Chain A
Amino acid sequence: MAKVHVSTSVNGEPTEFLCEPHDTLLDVLRNELNMTGTKEGCGSGDCGACSVTVNDRLVCSCLVLGAEAEGKEIGTVEGIGNNDSLHVIQEKFLEHAALQCGICTPGLIVSTKALLEENPSPTEEEARYYLAGNLCRCTGYDKIIRAVMDAAESMRGAA
């Protein structure tokens, strides 16, 4: 099986990698690029733990082939905030205790950022529908939604 050579951009950094034709973008991020922020929950598009953006569109990286990243712009949780200064969405997740085990959190952060870029003033219902593809087994979602609504408010204030 011939490996595929891919030139792409990850969080704005030009990136090259080799992958098997069947490797998913999730496999590549975690195993080739050592970017383990993106999580694997199901591998079948159901849980949203692997959420990333491809050319600014929110997708499940487990349903994208690594080879498809050629010439695209990939955005992962590693591109949102850093250890010294968290993104306001991340701060609000901490403040509202919107996580327990944390496996769903990177996906939720990426999805929340995509939501608020598309719709800076979502209603609670809109936020719940938009994030319905991000499953969380721990929190019961209420704290997540509170964090999202609070983050939306403070991002509107800052804009």
Chain B
Amino acid sequence: MTVVEYSAAASIEEAVSLLLSSDIPAKVLAGGTDLIIQSAGLDPIKVVDIKNIDSMMGATIDGDGLTLGPSMPCAELYSRDDVKALFPGLVEAAYLIGSTQVQGRCSVGGNLCNSSPAADTIPALIANAAQCVIQGPGGERTVAVEDFVTGVGRNCMAKGELLTALRLAKPAAGTSDAYLRFIPRTEMDIAVAGAGVSVTLDGAGTCTAARVSIGAVAPTALLIPEAADALIGSKLDEAALDKAAAASLAASSPITDRRGTVEFRKHVVGVLTKRAATIAAQRARGE
């Protein structure tokens, strides 16, 4: 790909019409940390910059929960204490992407739309049951985040469609989340395995609701209902955590590459599930 045309859209409607009317492949330009590298080839593309649209760049919290502008830079998200208070796991996932410089540009929506199997924010979004609001020529539709990515680098968006918001319902009392990943270095690397967990605890410390998602161990990040079922009804004791870990391990289908073998990734995704559940529970208890 090589960028032969650049347009900055002033509104969502204009972005949709620019994407739709293009006679060459058109791509949405958010932070560009993936797109600009991918565009080092020959096939001509048009880019539509959506960063001048305020709603794409902001985050608002109201009684219903969080509406996240998909293109808000992760560095800015990290500075939002109100978002961190509700979804610490999502913010920590966003913060793991790249260096300070990359953080200044990369975004949760960009991470999702790039649709890499190893994207850090996707398991965290799935754990929080995020809904993707998509605007297109036929109007608006909403897709559950676990259904958004359809394969390696592929997603459910059709020509002319734009991800306009991520909606995360306000967590019930006693709820929190966590995201962990394994990388061979201390930072600035791509997940070898990752796990996002959200748990809700009642006053007695019993888990009443949970969502578990794993990343980098299958073509797409996965929601693992069996792992959540292992946690629900328990006090997150060792036996329940082991069962959840085993469910994640069983659902994973990783590949061997120079970053890790199948056996290693399966083992690690189980361990991360357990640890992320433990951290989410500590946060839910206010510890």
Q: Interface of A with B (CB < 8 Å)?
A: 1-2, 4, 21-22, 24, 44-45, 48, 51, 54, 57-60, 62-65, 67-68, 70, 111, 114-115, 129-134
Contact present for B33 and A63 (CB under 8 Å): yes
A62 to B101 CA separation, bound complex (whole angstroms): 11
A1-B4, A45-B33, A57-B73 are contacts. A68–B100 as well, Cβ < 8 Å? no
Contact present for B36 and A65 (CB under 8 Å): yes
| Top 5 A-B pairs, shortest CB-CB distance | A133-B99, A22-B3, A21-B6, A67-B6, A59-B104
Q: Interface of B with A (CB < 8 Å)?
A: 2-6, 8, 29, 31-33, 36-37, 39, 47, 49, 51, 73, 75-76, 98-102, 104-105, 187-188
A44-B37, A65-B32 are contacts. A58–B6 as well, Cβ < 8 Å? no
A13 to B235 CA separation, bound complex (whole angstroms): 61
Contact present for A133 and B32 (CB under 8 Å): no
* Interface majority SS (helix, strand, loop, mixed), chain A: mixed
Beyond the given pairs A4-B6, A57-B73, A132-B187, 13 more chain A to chain B contacts, judged by CB atoms under 8 angstroms and listed by A's residue number, are: A22-B2, A22-B4, A45-B98, A45-B99, A48-B99, A51-B101, A57-B76, A57-B104, A59-B105, A63-B36, A65-B29, A111-B101, A133-B188
Contact present for B101 and A68 (CB under 8 Å): no
Contact present for B6 and A60 (CB under 8 Å): no
A21-B4, A21-B47, A68-B49 are contacts. A63–B99 as well, Cβ < 8 Å? no
**How distant is A116 from chain B, measured CB to nearest CB, in Å?**
13
